[in-house]
Homo-oligomer: A and B are copies of this chain.
Amino acid sequence: MRGSGFRNDIGGEQVKCAHDELPYRIGDKWTAHVLRGLQDGRRRFTELRAGMPVVTPKVLTETLRAMERDGTVTRTEYDENPPRVEYELTEQGHKLLGLLDLCCEWARENLVET
């Protein structure tokens, strides 16, 4: 899938990108939901999934793996049976969540109702 992340240059600044042109992958379909789902603390895979619109485990896993690579979430695996895995936002993840809030605020204030 998107994997390693690309290099790009918007306005002369080198940034790491999701789909080439936008800094980071907030633009994809599920990252924002993960940020929201983890804003109040660590959650298990199933908890997280239950707290958002219907998404297949495959896609949610891909999203989480990408966010882990990018350093916005951590993944903790417990050696139990049945298995247990918990995800948590990193400091950077929380900062990104703050940006998401700003975007939502902008949208509310500036986009007219259709």
A residues sitting closer than 8 Å to B (CB atoms) are 4-5, 10-11, 13-24, 26-30, 32-33, 36, 39, 53, 70-71, 92, 95-96, 99-100, 102-104, 106-108, 110-112, 114
A30 contacts which chain B residues (CB < 8 A)?
Answer: 21
With a CB–CB cut-off of 8 A, which chain B residues contact A5?
Answer: 111, 114
Q: State the oligomeric state as a number of copies.
A: 2
Minimum Cβ distance to chain B for residue A91 (Å):
8
Would you call A104 and B71 a contact (CB within 8 A)? no
Secondary structure at the A interface, as helix, strand, loop or mixed, is mixed
Given contacts A23-B103, A27-B28, A104-B23, contact A95 B110 (CB under 8 A): yes
Cβ-closest chain B residue relative to A27 = B27
Q: Distance in Å from the Cβ of A32 to the closest Cβ of chain B?
A: 5
State the CA gap A70–B100 with chains docked (Å): 19
Chain B: minimal CB distance from A111 (Å) = 4
